[in-house]
Structure 1
Amino acid sequence: MEIVIKLSQFLLSLSLLIILHELGHFIPAKLFKTRVEKFYLFFDVKYSLLKKKIGETEYGIGWLPLGGYVKISGMIDESMDKEQMALPPQPWEFRSKPAWQRLIIMLGGVTVNFILAFIIYIGMAYAYGDSYIANADMKDGLLIENQAMINAGFKSGDKIVAVDGEKIVRFDKEISSKVILAKEVVIDRNGVEQTIKMPNDFVDQLSKVEKVPLVNIRIPFAITEVPAESLNKELKAKDIIVSLNGQKTKYSDEVKSILEKNKNKTIPAVVLRDQKEVPVNVIVSNAGKMGIYSGILGLQSLEKLGYYKITHQKYSFLESIPFGIQKGKDQLVGYGKQLKMIFNPETKAYKQVGGFKAIFDIFPSSWSWEVFWSITAILSIMLGVMNLLPIPALDGGHVMFLLFEIVSGKKPSDKFLENAQMVGFVLLISLLLFANGNDIYKAVIGK
């Protein structure tokens, strides 16, 4: 059932993005009276799953889910329709339109992608609001369990002050993405500020360690279940360990550290049970465990216990507009930095480029509209940016040649455009094979 939910989200998001991207080409083409022969979700290699011709356009769904397309008359595209291009230009064809109209048609897809992302972020701000912890309230710092972060010089209890000169005002789920892309991070360790220079190959190092969050809030050790076979019968579900072996244990990482030092021992403890402190004895195994299950408390519970002050921000429709636009701008800039890292061999980030499986794995195994729209928004930005790359066969390649034509007044020959399209197509196939090859390699090798 979980894989069905993941697959449903993946296909719904992909289909939505493809249809709207192609609609971005379709609408201006129609406005400029340019004939659109086909409008397809997915590729119809040899045959279509569904198709219906309405007016001059055939609408359909192909069987190969690697994208989608609109076939515009008189345009050199992936169809490589040389027979049509050999005929005299017709008034309804793309090649007969002024360069500025062709430019608008080509930019329509990525424009829709960016607008969609901003609309989603505005809608999410209005529908869900925002919850965060002010960085000033992170009195005892963060939980650092990721080995790559530890290798870089971070420790549990560190408080992140600034990332690449940008002061961190609030702790939220965006902080990890900022750290991944950072060159240097300023931390507060026991009241003293230090600067940590991030390794050039940090992204590559992350792929080689256990996949745990880069940073997290520190939480109390809350017991969720005491199995029947556990020797610690004095412990109960919902207990929170507040003292162990005579030491105060406000956080889970402190409990784990004390257990590690007291293997094969019975030690005193104090638990918070029904808002009262209760003394108990704890039996520690030779593996440094108690034989119980612990869990994560929600933000509301942590707030009630006095661990953190959670700021819950609600936005009116008008207030959500600037917030959503700023969120979209931040994500756009962040993705631009990711691309820069990928094209820098020193970072080795290219090793982490993924294909369709990597995108599929982003989606959770349980349905959440908030998560779905959040992922769809960033994928929309990614699709827009990738399509703007100046590679023939992508929108960016067509835009590059159109800008040359507008500036120089000289239109590249059809033969040149055909050759460029073929080179671009080979590049795209190579990138597709590389990205999906990375997926297969990581699935087989495990890293």
Structure 2
Amino acid sequence: MALSRRLLLATLSGVLLAAAFPPYHFPYFLPLALAALLKALDGATPRQGFFVGLLSAGIHTGATLFWLSNLFAAAVLPLCVILSLFPILFCMLWARCQSVLPRVATAVLWVGLEFFRAEPFVLNFGWPTLGYAVAGRPVFAPLTATLGVYGISSLVVALGTLRGRALAITTALWAVACLIRLPAPVPERPLTVLLVQARSGDEEALFEQSAGAKADVIVWPEHAFHSDPRQPGRFRFNNFWPRLQALAKSSGAHLVLGAHVARQGEDPEKIFDNAALVLTPTGELAGIHVKNHPVHFLTDGVASTVAKAIPTTLGRIGTPICFDNDYPEVDRRMVQDGAEVFLVPNMDPDEWGPVQHAQHSLLFAMRAMENGRWLARADVDGGTSAVAPNGVEVGHVKNGEPQTLMVRVGRTTHRTLYGLGGWVFGPLCLFGALGCTGFGLWKGRRASP
């Protein structure tokens, strides 16, 4: 096959991959994206595989992650290059080893590299992971609740290995599955949750919108307080803890809120715990969760390694904070500790842009689907929403203005197959990818004259 035709197929692959994610969000032909990529690699040399991967991954990452420039300006270019290295590596390895590896190895190699990019790798950024393209599509909930986001990715790649009529039929079935809309399940043991949206640090707006609330739980955004509200402020009106206790008592609700908790002996402006505090209706502190995954390159607190559910009279609740939900393990560990529902302080500010907001919502939906839990999050600018265990969104604010959203969410104690062991699928694919690569390189070398 001429290099020009390979590059044409790589371009088609990159366009279809990008189209599957917001702001386009057209995942109906995602298997064709992989089919085009694999066709471009048929009989290719590793050098040709490099150019095929570079073009496909460059289009995919550039057309979907351009919003990172809102955070990192020109540094978005090296970031996209780094994230593209993994699909490029896949293309080079598959070009080298495809003649001696079975077809099933395609999905193992792809998912293994996806998993490494999203979790063990130093940047651990998984937003381009294929499975997220259909987060919130309830038909995929059973597979997601079994093998998680990487199970969806493996299905996409497996379908992409098909050819001819088989590919056409399965792609049509995939598109139909993406189009099917199902209702959210009826909440079990329902809770009424008031999600309060206001700008980070605008404490007065948060108090004002929460006054007189009739809810079981009130959730405020991440960074609601840029200091520890339990500590007296420099001025009298900054003594927030008594006001929070009074709000809890007057509303009869639990409060979940984001705050900075100072670390002893450190500058609280630079080094702090980014925490979710939970207050009981009597004004007592029920527990604290400290963010496990601060946002890269930003002043976002010191990473914790503890992910526990917080016991309350409403049951055990999980309070993963914003970026924690970008990683499957935090929510999963909270469910292992008994979390019955996720109540999330979140911060996706306006300056990060609507594309970031839309893409981030897919990750929250995926965590709900993997763990079979309701998830409600209070954001600072338009992301305030709630998701059912099958990924269906049951409520969302209309804009980024300060406002509230009242939702009913369920509580459940059952564990999905994903939580019981299916989560190891990603790590197993990584080890499988290493094994396939080693075997393929060894076998290919032996077959060489």
**Structure label with greater radius of gyration:** 1
Q: TM-score, normalised by structure 2?
A: 0.25
Higher strand fraction: Structure 1 or Structure 2?
Answer: 1
